[in-house]
Amino acid sequence: MDRRAFIGTLTGGLLAAPLAAGAQPAGRVPRIGYLGTRTLSDFGVDAFRQGLRELGWVEGQNIVVDYRFAEGGLDRLPDLAAELVRLKVDIIVAQATPGAAAAKNATETIPIVMVPVGDPVGLGLVASLARPGGNVTGVSYSVGGLDIIGKQLELLKQTVPKIHRVAILSNPANPTRPLVIRDVNGAARALAVQLQFLEARGPNEFDSAFAAIAKERIEALVVMADTMFVLHRTRLADLAARSRLPAAYGWREHVEAGGLMSYGPSLSYLFRRSATFVDKILKGAKPGDLPVEQPTQFELVINLKTAKALGLTIPPSLLQRADQVIE
């Protein structure tokens, strides 16, 4: 069921929309490179395309999009980014932190629109959110750092007040990881929760991570938002269920796959917003002058079926705040 928003603060053809003087040569069809960390079926692609259409850009009519996907193999991103540079695309839309970092390492001149990135300033992708400078702009994943994971921890504590030992599962290949650890420690202290940091570089390391969870008598789990994790979301949900662990995630796809709850920005909205940056740059704007946007719409999704299987009763206050409850 849908509930109220939980807000925490593709060749040819003629141009259908006129461009600003000097933005694109007359009659030339702009070429966009899309660097994805996952696959073509990723929901972000559809949202990005929708955003383009809303602004008058239609693939096959007045714009070309060259898609390159790492399919979860983040080590492929540098080569894919270099391939897009060789194609001389006008803009690169780079998905997630690994994609944005690979694109920035591949070019200092082609405009890059990142979507979404956890802490673009802390990672050195932009000079500041207000004035990014350089060739990168786009959409951030969080507001004020990576406080979202702290909110996930808080939601778990509200759901299971008695928990004291919580595992944070992260991918050490994700450059955002050190920032997550920095920000979540403060939230843990405020909630009187002891954290156990665990790592998994790939699905072959999931079993050992959950074995450590059992050994340390962990009572709940927070899974860091990461492309690799969402690609293997069903297995992660199954492992959490077998371990009878209430778990919180950053993306709603985890909950749709059987996870207990997720809290984070509306990614569909962020991907649609990324098309706005493409539109402005094609019309002559410089990426360094376009402020990085921070999310204003956040989603709480709860899987009531999973809660019942774990023997949990979700507090009515959380159910009322949820954007979607899966039953």
- The amino acid sitting at 177 is R
> Sign of the CA dihedral 97, 100, 104, 105?
positive
Q: For residue 321, what are its two tokens?
A: 């705040």
Name all domains of the chain by residue range, CATH numbers in brackets. Answer: 31-143+266-298 (3.40.50.2300), 148-265+299-326 (3.40.50.2300)
pLDDT above 50 for 12? no
CB 101 within 8 A of CB 125: yes
Share of the chain above pLDDT 90, in %: 66
Query: What pLDDT digit, counting tens, does each position of 88-97 carry?
Result: 999 999 998 8
Q: Which residue has the higher pLDDT, 125 or 44?
A: 125
pLDDT above 50 for 21? no
Query: What pLDDT digit, counting tens, does each position of 217-244 carry?
Result: 999 999 998 878 988 999 999 999 999 9
pLDDT above 50 for 184? yes
Q: Are strands 298-303 and 64-69 parallel, antiparallel or unpaired?
A: unpaired
pLDDT at position 6: 35
Q: For residue 303, what are its two tokens?
A: 């899987």
Q: Are strands 261-265 and 220-223 parallel, antiparallel or unpaired?
A: unpaired
CA distances 40 to 59, 67, 80, 95, Å, are 15, 8, 14, 12
Q: What's the CA gap between 277 and 226, in Å, rounded? A: 24
Q: What's the CA gap between 273 and 50, in Å, rounded? A: 10
> Sign of the CA dihedral 102, 141, 300, 156?
positive
pLDDT above 80 for 268? yes
pLDDT above 50 for 15? no
pLDDT above 50 for 111? yes
pLDDT above 50 for 196? yes
DSSP code string of 245-298: --EEESSHHHHHTT-SEEEEE-HHHHHHHHHHHHHHHHTT--GGGSPPB----E
For residues 3-14, give the mean pLDDT.
34
Of 58, 49, 63, nearest in space to 12 by CA: 63
Query: What pLDDT digit, counting tens, does each position of 32-71 carry?
Result: 999 998 777 677 899 999 999 999 999 989 999 999 998 8
Q: What's the CA gap between 9 and 245, in Å, rounded? A: 29
Q: Report H helices in the chain.
A: 43-54, 77-86, 96-106, 148-159, 177-190, 206-215, 227-231, 233-242, 252-256, 267-282, 304-309, 316-321
pLDDT at position 148: 83
Query: What pLDDT digit, counting tens, does each position of 160-181 carry?
Result: 999 999 999 998 887 777 777 7
Q: What's the CA gap between 283 and 37, in Å, rounded? A: 27
pLDDT at position 22: 39
pLDDT above 50 for 209? yes
pLDDT at position 25: 56
Q: Between vectors from CA 113 to CA 261 and to CA 68, what angle results, nearest 5°? A: 80
pLDDT at position 4: 38
pTM: 0.80
pLDDT above 50 for 1? no
